[in-house]
Amino acid sequence: MLKGVHQKLEPQQTPAFFVRGASPFSRMVFFCALSIIIMATDARLNYLSQLRQGFIAALHPLEMIAKAPSNWVRDVNRYFSAHNQLVQENYALKQQAFEHQVRLQRLTTIEAENTHLRSLLNGDIPIQPKAILGEISHTGRDPFSLVVVVNRGSQHNVKAGQAVADSKGVIGQITRVFPFSSEVTLITDKGLSIPIQIERNQLRAIAFGEGNNTLDIPYLPANVDIKVGDKLVTSGIDGVYPSGLAVAKVTKILQNPESPFAKIISTPVSEVSNHLQLLILELPQIKEAALPVTTTIATDANATVTPTSVVKPATKSPASANEAKPNAPN
């Protein structure tokens, strides 16, 4: 009997445990819209920057491991391909160093003669600034400012305001200092100016950055003695940049008949986009004025006079000396 009962029972479907929600297409549209909103909010408010930096720092070891095979292959190819080139460059640099040593012999003699002449004329001996070697880590994030970041900071005795140069000329100036890095504003930035002079005729002026890898020298008359190809060097009158450092070369002179001033455009000679190494020059030390010497002049046994400066007394006649002499007691 039980067998018949089981045969009469109809099979029933198991009820679904989860209720079916939206379709896959609707969910895809929802998550795509949510992703776009999050990306737009992050681009505007920049609230995920710390989280991204943490992920980048955590993934850096994995990135180095993934790049290791390609780096090994590249290093091996570079070793075998650049060997002959390095040998030739080494020979050329040795010859160039020998020529420079010969020139330095004459330069040392001229420098000693110049120092002797300055001492005869009671002039100040030029200060040779010290320098700190640095390397460019990366460029600034702001597209509207020309800034590079170097791997030297306050822990390396770097201070804001120091001049930065390379083997060709002036690069810029330290504007912000962090413990282990610093920001260098390039001389072509619109917010930076530099005192210069024309090397040919020693004409002094001030060059302003234009933001497009050029410098402008405003407020000079249209008949100024400046030619295309003139070399601009630092004048040193600002106390930041040492005098004589190369800055730029004049590339274009525009004259407007309606304006009394000429537009002089120059191009920097530094090659900040071609190499990474640079020099951070030390700020010149300001000489303190000597304080006046305090002297004591005795007038009698009980009085003293302390002048702030020594003045040569005028010659008195015997009559006036007798008038000034106190009467002796009877």
% of the chain beyond a pLDDT of 90: 18
pLDDT at 60: 81
H/E run at residue 61: helix 49-120
DSSP letters for 270-282: --TTT-SEEEEEP
pLDDT at 11: 57
pLDDT at 312: 41
Helix, strand, or coil (residue 310): coil
Q: What is the rounded CA–CA span in Å between residue 150 and residue 132?
A: 11
Helix, strand, or coil (residue 318): helix
- Tens of pLDDT along 55-69? 778 888 888 888 888
pLDDT at 9: 53
* CA 323 to chain CA centroid, nearest Å: 71
pLDDT at 78: 78
Q: Which residue has the higher pLDDT, 178 or 41?
A: 178
Q: Quick one: how many helices (H) and strands (E) in the chain?
A: 4, 14
- Tens of pLDDT along 114-167? 877 777 776 555 556 678 888 888 887 777 788 999 989 988 899 998 999 988
pLDDT at 187: 92
Q: Is the pLDDT of residue 250 over 90?
A: yes
pLDDT at 302: 41
Q: Is the pLDDT of residue 247 over 90?
A: yes
Kindly tell me the sign of the dihedral angle through the C-alpha atoms of 25, 30, 32, 33. Answer: positive
Q: Average pLDDT in the 216-224 region? A: 89
Q: What is the mean pLDDT of the chain?
A: 77
Q: What is the pTM of this model?
A: 0.52
pLDDT at 73: 87
Q: What is the rounded CA–CA span in Å between residue 181 and residue 154?
A: 8
- For 200-262, what is the HEC assignment? CCCCEEEEEECCCCCEEEEEEECCCCCCCCCEEEECCCCCCCCCCCEEEEEEEEEECCCCCEE
What are the structural domains, with CATH classification, of the chain? 28-78 (no CATH), 131-281 (2.40.10.350)
Can you give the C-alpha Rg of the chain in angstroms?
A: 38
% of the chain beyond a pLDDT of 70: 77
- The residue written with tokens 């198991």 in the block is 14
- Tens of pLDDT along 263-322? 899 999 988 777 788 889 888 665 544 444 443 434 443 444 333 333 344 444 444 444
Q: Which of 268, 148, 147, 132 is nearest to 213 (CA)?
A: 268
Residue 269 DSSP symbol = -
Q: What is the rounded CA–CA span in Å between residue 170 and residue 243?
A: 11
Kindly tell me the sign of the dihedral angle through the C-alpha atoms of 244, 246, 248, 253. Answer: positive
- ∠ CA 21-26-30 to the nearest 5 degrees? 110
